[in-house]
Amino acid sequence: MKCVAIDGRRILLVHAPDGIHAVDELCTHEDASLALGCIKGQWIKCPLHGSRFDLRTGTPLDEPANVPLTVYAVKIEDDDILIQTRPTNE
């Protein structure tokens, strides 16, 4: 995982088994940093209350979170990771 700032947004880049994903860095439940959480397969777990989110869609998989994470399109071009700052799931 790596947190980056783009256009005033804090975005978390995650290397999952199916590739690179980009989501908002803060949990939608309590503004906890997901960069401190853990990744397993296609989901990331918030370190504060344990909510898991699907990295592909942003969908919360567990309570207490009930609002999806914002997901951004990612493209790998040569050695660069390009992130579309317009959310893909809004």
CATH number of the domain within which 58 lies: 2.102.10.10
pLDDT tens for 15-46 read 999 999 999 999 999 989 999 999 999 999 99
Residue 85 has pLDDT above 90, yes or no: no
- How many structural domains compose the chain? 1
Q: How confident is the model at residue 90 (pLDDT cuts 50, 70, 90)?
A: low
Task: Say which residues have a Cβ less than 8 Å from residue 75's Cβ, sequence separation at least 6.
Answer: 81, 82, 84
Residue 12 sits in which domain range?
2-87
Q: What CA–CA distance (Å, rounded) separates 13 from 3?
A: 6
pTM, two decimals, is 0.90
Q: How confident is the model at residue 67 (pLDDT cuts 50, 70, 90)?
A: very high
Mean pLDDT, the chain, rounded, equals 93
